[in-house]
Amino acid sequence: MEGLDDIVEEFLVESHENLDQLDQDLVALEQDPRSRDRLSSIFRTIHTIKGTSGFLAFNRLEEVAHVGENLLSRLRDGALDLTPSRTSALLMMTDIIRALLAAIEATGGEGTVEVAETVAVLATALEDVPAPAAEAAVVEAAVLAEAEAVVAAESAVEAAEVDKPAAKRAPAKRASRAKAAVPSPAPVPAMETVAAPVAPAPVAEAPPSPPVAPPPAVAAPAAPLAPEPGTAEAGPKARGVADSTIRVDVDLLDNLMLLVGELVLTRNQIVQYVGRQNDQDLIRASQRLNLIASELQESAMKTRMQPIDHIWSKLPRVVRDLGLQLQKNIRLEMEGKDTELDKTLLEAVKDPLTHLVRNSVDHGIESTADRVAAGKSPEGVLTLRSRHESGQVVVEVADDGAGIDPARIGAKAVEKGLITADSLTRMGPQDLLQLIFAPGFSTAAAVTNVSGRGVGMDVVKTNIEGIGGTIEVESTVGRGTCMRLRIPLTLAIVPALTIECAGDRYAIPQISLQELVALDAEKASAAVEEVGGASVYRLRGELLPLVRLADVLGLPSDRHDGHVVIAVLRSEGRRFGLVVDRVINTEEIVVKAVSSVLKAIGLYSGATVLGDGAVALILDVQALARRALRAESADRQETRTAITSAVAAQERQRMLLAAIGGGRRVAIPLDTVTRLEQVRSDTVERVGSREVVQYRGAILPIVRLDRHLGAFGNDDRETLEVIVYADHGRSVAIVVEEILDIVDGEASVHSDIDDLGLLGSAVIGDRVTELLDVRAAILAADPAFYNPLPGMPGTDSFAALEGAGSHLMEV
């Protein structure tokens, strides 16, 4: 089946289902030849097949379906009566369609299935004069039983020659036996006769008078190819398209997901209780439970996953039509079509995404004349990108158009009364850009019929936030605009950071979390500064506004030792630091709705039950940001203005800088880093020739970057700085000497001087820094890392153990 496009596969599945229905309908129709409903249903099925096959360039299939459709449309309109011969002709048509579908499934093409005869039969049936000979032949065929459909059909054309059918009966019968044994069609290139594809059962029961049995024979997938026993053996290996998928009610999946969510919660609880026990058997059992629950959760989630292409596939048309209408020349590029996300979420982002695309075409990309005048290529490029990034799906709609001018936005907002002229002077470009999401804002100078259809950017934003996602806008005047959606993978279960404030625990969805900063009392007093009555923290040179959660909640903080723990959160393209009392851990939480009374407070997006059974509120980061950052002071804005314009100029990648000893520095793309940890070196153990460490209930293979890259590091240190990289349930730890910084690695000054394990080097922060080949480093630690996990883990690297001496390192 590989090699088949998704679209073809879908077509096959759908057509198989439809054909089964068609057989039933046709037979039932004989009982009630005037049933318009049935005729219409049959007509629709054939019409769909015709349309799709034409689209997919299956010409013979289209030809048959076309003639069949003509016949059906005349039957439906009452221009023709349904005679047994016509029914036979239609059944013959369904059989030949099946044969064609089987050939397509097996070989990807229509194979050698001949359709001319069927087309002729159908054409004959189209003629208004009922041929008495054909009628007679049908009756005769009915008496003959079994595979005589061929006879009926053929005699309709050839006026009942007797010898021929007899000769053909044998292969046809063999074919039907082969069918019973091997439901899956085997790829057979040569068809012996056209006769073979005719399914025996329905026609045998076709004569007008006898009662029609419900179609058990029809249900058996007719595999009309395969008359040769030899090839039939090859059949069972590949599951047919129709048998390999099953349609399931989405509600059922929702329910399943809900139950899995509950199971995950219970698992968390049990794992926590068992952590306090010493019973080895219990611990082992709970670890199995842990693994199975995770796998189950993943599988259940996968049942609901669909590639984003499902909604993207409609966009080329949208762009083309709009481009024509607006007389713009636009090329649409798509990257990451295969990125999967939850079906519900997919549905939810469909309209916002379409809106963003329309917006880009309408307002983003300039007219051809303007582009040429601006020295750009006359062809505008609209790029859709999607990828998975730290447990989220990132979808970008980027254009190389005129960009959004913050000044124009500001002026417009003042004009519309959304902000005052006074506050305008205090707003930086990034904040001005955010105004496009304000309700009642539309930048379109004139409301065209393209945009201005009652769906504004505010609705887009509300919709995206409604599913727990975020939207950001980046724009450079003259260079283009990029809208970036961040969407959780699934709605039901989200990874979250649990924190403590004033004695209560709260959950913060990881989607908004960027990093954690812990400052001891001494450092805090120096690093946390007051600017115009608001406290800020210098995070790598950038001023980070701080919001004290305790103040927001109106509770007294119970942290009195002067330590400051900051969760750096991102909301609407802005960053702020949420000061909490303590960070507890990260946990997968199941989101529960809270009553509208509590929702109206505007601080909580929901609640969840934690591992120990306690209820914790989920903080609504967007609302928190809005509430806390309402009045930002002007000088802070200026700082950020400088920074945003600096970073907006370059598509950038964030890099983790680490020293590996010998004065060498490597940069590791941050998006490949799952976690930073410290591990005591005496917890490192050996398995064979490899070093491992116990970590969160699993065995974590270690690669020492200094040795891997041939540097000479200091081996006798008490704690190891490790960078944990995890993917698909596997993790490896990369040991470095010291974590230095996280930088925006402008792709400047690259050099190709590479060495084993390196991708090259670049100048970052005035120093030559080596770019780590992460894949090679990971493979050095765990050669099987990129292999698919075996069906049931637990055999390879998981063993009973307690928490390794590691703790959450706060950078």
Work out whether 270 is an interface residue with another protein (CB under 8 A): no
- Whose tokens are 């000479």? That residue is 712
Q: Of residues 34, 177, 453, 592, which one binds another protein by CB under 8 A?
A: 592
**Cα distances (angstroms) measured from residue 674 to each of 451, 482, 726:** 40, 26, 6
The smaller minimum CB distance to another protein, of residues 158 and 254, is found at: 254
Stretch that binds another protein, among 259-267, 295-303, 375-383, 760-768 (CB under 8 A): 259-267
39 or 264: CB nearest another protein? 264
Determine how many CB atoms are found less than 10 A away from the CB of residue 518: 16
From 90-98, 572-580, 599-607, 751-759, give the range in contact with another protein by CB under 8 A: 599-607
Taking the complex as a whole, the smallest distance from the CB of residue 598 to another protein amounts, in Å, to 6
- By beta-carbon proximity to another protein, the closer residue of 265 and 567 is 265
Query: Which of 654, 753, 668 lies closest to 705 in space, CA to CA?
Result: 668
Do residues 122 and 89 make contact, with C-beta atoms less than 8 angstroms apart?
A: yes
Helix (H, G, I), strand (E, B) or coil at 497: strand
Q: Does 776 bind another protein (CB under 8 A)?
A: no
705 binding another protein? (CB under 8 A): no
Bridge-based pairing state of the strands 564-571 and 470-476 = unpaired
Chain centroid, CA 48 distance in Å: 27
> Does position 264 bind another protein by CB under 8 A?
no
For another protein, give the closer residue by CB, 210 or 613: 613
Residue 454 binding another protein, by CB under 8 A? no
The only residue of 150, 226, 265, 546 in contact with another protein, by rule CB under 8 A: 265
Query: Phi then psi for 710, rounded to 5 degrees?
Result: 70, 30
Residue the block writes with tokens 């010898």: 163
| Interface with another protein, residue 608, by CB under 8 A | yes
Q: Which stretch binds another protein (CB under 8 A): 600-608, 651-659, 696-704, 765-773?
A: 600-608
| Stretch 407-446 residues interacting with another protein (CB under 8 A) | none
Q: How far is the CB of 500 from another protein (least distance, A)?
A: 12
Single residue of 11, 537, 576, 604 touching another protein by CB under 8 A? 604
**115-134 b/e with 16+ CB inside 10 Å = b?**
bebbbbbbebbbeeeebeeb
Strands 564-571, 574-580: pairing is: antiparallel
Q: Which is nearer to another protein, 77 or 551 (CB)?
A: 551
* Beta-carbon-side half-sphere exposure of residue 661 (alpha carbons within 13 Å): 19
Closest approach of Cβ 302 to another protein, in Å?
A: 24
Q: What angle do CA 444, 398, 491 make, to 5 degrees?
A: 100
Instruction: Give the chain's largest Cα–Cα span.
Output: 105
Q: Which residue has the tokens 């993790």?
A: 731
- Contact criterion met (CB below 8 Å) for 552 and 621: no
Q: Which stretch binds another protein (CB under 8 A): 242-250, 375-383, 420-428, 605-613?
A: 605-613
d(Cα 732, Cα 782) in Å, to the nearest integer? 7
Shortest approach of another protein to residue 536 CB, angstroms? 24
How many Cβ atoms sit within 10 Å of the Cβ of residue 682? 9
* Binding window for another protein (CB under 8 A); candidates: 1-9, 347-355, 551-559, 638-646: 551-559
Contact in structure between 511 and 572 (CB atoms under 8 Å): no
Q: Which stretch binds another protein (CB under 8 A): 300-308, 373-381, 613-621, 657-665?
A: 613-621
- 582 CB contacts (<8 Å, ≥6 apart)? 499, 500, 559, 565
Nearest to 126 by CA among 62, 75, 59, 61: 75
Our finding on whether 598 is near another protein (CB under 8 A) is yes
Tokens (6 digits) for 342 = 């939850």
Rule CB under 8 A: is residue 630 a binding residue for another protein? no
Q: Using CA atoms, how far apart are residues 673 and 676, in angstroms rounded to an integer? A: 8
- Binding of another protein by 507 (CB under 8 A): no
Q: Is residue 614 a contact point for another protein (CB under 8 A)?
A: yes
Q: Which stretch binds another protein (CB under 8 A): 206-214, 596-604, 666-674, 732-740?
A: 596-604
Burial status of residue 550 (CB atoms within 10 A of its CB: 0-12, 13-18, 19 or more): middle
**607 near another protein, judged by CB under 8 A:** yes
Of 131-139, 604-612, 751-759, 796-804, the window that binds another protein (rule: CB under 8 A) is 604-612
Nearer to another protein, 102 or 549 (CB): 549
Q: Which is nearer to another protein, 604 or 725 (CB)?
A: 604
Task: Assess 553 for contact with another protein (CB under 8 A).
Answer: yes
Residue at token pair 């940069």:
667
Residues 253, 305, 594, 779: which binds another protein (CB under 8 A)? 594
Q: Does 597 bind another protein (CB under 8 A)?
A: yes
d(CA 155, CA 67): 19
> In the set 375, 554, 663, 688, which binds another protein (CB under 8 A)?
554
Contact between 556 and another protein (CB under 8 A)?
no
- Candidates 160, 402, 528, 603: give the one binding another protein (CB under 8 A): 603
Q: How far is the CB of 623 from another protein (least distance, A)?
A: 11
Q: Are 331 and 400 in contact (CB under 8 A)?
A: no
d(CA 563, CA 581): 8
Q: Which stretch binds another protein (CB under 8 A): 153-161, 278-286, 601-609, 794-802?
A: 601-609
Residue 721's φ and ψ, nearest 5 degrees, are -85, 120
**Shortest spacing between CB 592 and another protein, in angstroms:** 4
**Which amino acid type is present at position 729?**
G
| 594 versus 801: smaller Cβ distance to another protein | 594
Only segment of 407-415, 540-548, 591-599, 741-749 that touches another protein (CB under 8 A): 591-599
Site for another protein in 227-256 (CB under 8 A): none
Q: How far is the CB of 602 from another protein (least distance, A)?
A: 9
* H or E element, residue 353: helix 343-359
Cβ count within 10 A of residue 372: 12
Q: Compute the least distance from the CB of residue 501 to another protein, in Å.
A: 9
Least Å from the CB of residue 551 to another protein: 11
The candidate with the shortest Cα–Cα distance to 17, out of 245, 265, 329, is 245
Let me know the angle formed at the C-alpha of 118 by 113 and 121, rounded to the nearest 5 degrees: 165
- Return all residues near 545 (Cβ < 8 A) that are at least 6 apart: 534, 535, 536, 576, 577, 628, 629, 632, 636
Q: Is the dihedral of CA 414, 418, 420, 423 positive or negative?
A: negative
Size of the site for another protein (CB under 8 A): 25
Contact pick of 131, 419, 455, 555 for another protein (by CB under 8 A): 555
- Tokens for 331, please give them: 């090329």
Q: Which is nearer to another protein, 518 or 609 (CB)?
A: 609
**Strand, coil or helix: 249:** coil
Q: Report how many helices (DSSP H) and strands (DSSP E) the chain contains, helices first.
A: 29, 31
For the CB of residue 547, give the shortest distance to another protein in the complex, in Å: 14
Name the segment binding another protein (CB under 8 A); options: 351-359, 374-382, 553-561, 575-583. Answer: 553-561
At position 435, the amino acid (one-letter code) is L
**626 lies in the binding site for another protein (CB under 8 A):** no
Contact status: 504 vs another protein (CB under 8 A): yes
Minimal distance in Å, beta carbon 585 to another protein?
18
- Select from 278, 327, 449, 595 the one that contacts another protein (CB under 8 A): 595
Our finding on whether 616 is near another protein (CB under 8 A) is yes
Determine which residue in the list 531, 609, 726, 763 makes contact with another protein, applying CB under 8 A: 609
Using alpha carbons only, what angle is made at residue 285 by residues 280 and 290, rounded to the nearest 5 degrees? 125
In angstroms, give the least distance from the CB of 620 to another protein.
12
Applying CB under 8 A, the residues found at the interface with another protein are 262, 265-266, 502, 504, 553-555, 592-595, 597-598, 601, 603-604, 607-609, 613-617
